[in-house]
Copies of this chain bind each other. A is one copy, B any other.
């Protein structure tokens, strides 16, 4: 992939819904999608305020005529064009993902959707069916999974380097909401409001990230039952700011999750440790170019992105040689590149023979949050998955 700036014969015509001025998430979507000429940004409904959205679109080079006031107009107007968009990224507030994703699929668009895909399993299943019926690609931006060391972890599991998988310990535990900052910071306020955030705060907001890492890395990651204890430690919070989940997998393995927003002093604290009968691996998103590899009875090793001893699949998307740190933008670019190839294949009636966080991943996240909440709200009891 090094220097493979061009992935497709022509870029996919692409629009954004949301992600306008001042949106960090909008920037990372654009920066990643446009990185290697896989997508061309030709339209958008960038802002709930139409004028501000149009102004923003123009500022980043979008044709003013294709800067739409809202997503409905966007789909309607684009449908009339020969050079209509083929794909759309949804970076609007969580509570709107379902309806926009549904509308996009109905309009025949491929979709890249911010997580969560939606709030309810029935909605997720509806979207899955719709996408499958239409042969459309839906990518969900579990962005951390685009780091190459995640692919290395996956290949190590597949090749049996760890032996039989026994434990998967996951955490995404930051400390940013250790006080009631939502009272002062509107950008955070919605996260504690079920109307906008859905039924959970940290389980959904951060917990689903390492959950997807586990799913991506471990091919037979299937939950049999789980129990979840959640709690709001900061007074007056409607949604939990900390949760522990224990899961029994169908394979006989066990998994744990710690999702938190009150882990003082931690920036992200997103880690996944996978323990097999022979060895363990551990990855930390704040230092994504490294993967700890600990074979029992041998000295602990640290694997480095780009190193020749990695599996070829883990080298395939490198943009620069080992030692030079790649960051989150590079991980996202890798995912957007896979989205593009998958969309291009779908346009030709073919299926991608590689993994990416797709609609099933999105639906899985929705179901997992639902089950965690169900368990927690009944007193942290065991729930069949």
Contacts and interface: CB of A to CB of B under 8 A. Distances in A.
A360 interface: no
A166 B265 CA distance: 14
B178 A278 contact: yes
Contacts of A295: 264-265
Interface in A297-313: 297-304, 307-309
A266 B280 contact: yes
B264 A279 contact: yes
Nearest to A379: B382
Nearest to A143: B324
A349 interface: no
B323 A286 contact: yes
Interface stretch (A22-30, A97-105, A122-130, A362-370): A22-30
B308 A267 contact: no
A297 B174 CA distance: 11
A175 B31 contact: no
A61 interface: yes
Interface in A189-242: 227, 229, 231, 233, 242
Contact of A267 (B28, B174, B323, B382): B323
Number of copies: 4
A250 to B, nearest CB: 15
A296 B179 CA distance: 10
Interface in A266-291: 266-268, 275-280, 285-289
Interface stretch (A69-77, A78-86, A111-119, A325-333): A325-333
Contact of A265 (B300, B309, B326): B300
Contacts of A335: none
B254 A231 contact: yes
A268 to B, nearest CB: 4
Given A308-B297, A319-B27, A319-B31, A263 B280 contact: yes
A210 to B, nearest CB: 14
A37 interface: yes
A35 interface: yes
Given A23-B3, A35-B31, A299-B307, A328 B320 contact: yes
Interface in A328-372: 328-330
Interface in A168-187: 169, 174-176, 178-179
Contacts of A35: 31, 35
A233 B5 contact: no
Given A6-B60, A229-B246, 18 more contacts: A3-B24, A6-B59, A24-B320, A175-B294, A178-B296, A244-B246, A246-B380, A263-B275, A264-B275, A264-B280, A264-B295, A265-B280, A265-B295, A266-B280, A297-B307, A320-B328, A324-B327, A327-B330
6 contacts: A3-B23, A31-B319, A162-B264, A264-B275, A265-B280, A326-B329
